[in-house]
Structure 1
């Protein structure tokens, strides 16, 4: 089915990264439940909330600092290298698609990226290593070195607007594809999860590879409930 497709739109979620050792947000006993992200408005309004957000951020980073791309990531990278898939749309924030060899342009990050920080005022990128040294030495996160603005992990927090550029790119890709390949997404987090349904409604075939059932299984042309690595090992070149 993939070989026959003219344009494949890849769409990945947490399941592709759990095989790399990155905790799933919704699994029972997930460390994310003990270190929940601070809502965006609370982060903006309270210096104490910002300190706690960064403390939780570094705790979570330590849990999967050694994570490496899985067979699923490498399979997606091979599909992009073959020309079948222009880019992969991801809900993940771990940067593992880039670590598998993809360029930033080949990864459409709907929920941002947790491997660096950005100033909420001027947008300048700041590296986490420097922020962490400052935070652990002083107890407070630093301000932007350019404008003095608030620094935040470059992820989309609850209550924060979705990024316009990536959302437009995702919609364009889903509108033009003739096959949408969903990998490791529970398809319950909106608005991101609406994209595969949008592709199907626009005439694309829908393939879902996920360990557990999803709300879109009934409309899919093919559903594979299996370990992602075992499915995608065939695509790794």
Structure 2
């Protein structure tokens, strides 16, 4: 069965959410505009998340998984998803389902013209502290990268696999995906999407790693930008 679109679902200790993730993504797959599959990336969970994704993958051929030997972090999980996806389009959604899988369709409408389309959360249902820290972190990142994106932390994205697989990932780079596509002379776009409150499980980020982490990562990005190798082959002899 040839799929065209892989939805990555990184997860760490998301046992309370996974059956709902299966239900919602299964519903989306049945009416998606392109042939779609799901790839869970278990980032060393210590609860029953691995057992659940194993069961989900056994009963539904459109669901696959990979599992790390320990916890490596979100950027590593996304990188592994990029490496293992074998479709021309790759999407990303968080396992907390604070964004709606149906909104992938809003992003897919533009992916022909653009190389990465990212959601921009509207009417966010997070706490005041979380919203404020996200606003500050996005402002810091935008001032360094000049990528024009208002919400790179939105966990709903679609990227062409050719661009995704050329991104040299490092810790924290999941916040810089639009900027990394721009370094490849790609085109990026942001689209408003819906946002919901988390109803199960616990958030993995807190005030310190929402602010200190992005600031440190910005300096790493500037180094990478100066050193980034980009070329375009004009002709070759097969």
Fold match (TM-score > 0.5): no
Q: Which has the larger radius of gyration?
A: 1
TM, length-normalised to structure 2: 0.32
TM, length-normalised to structure 1: 0.32
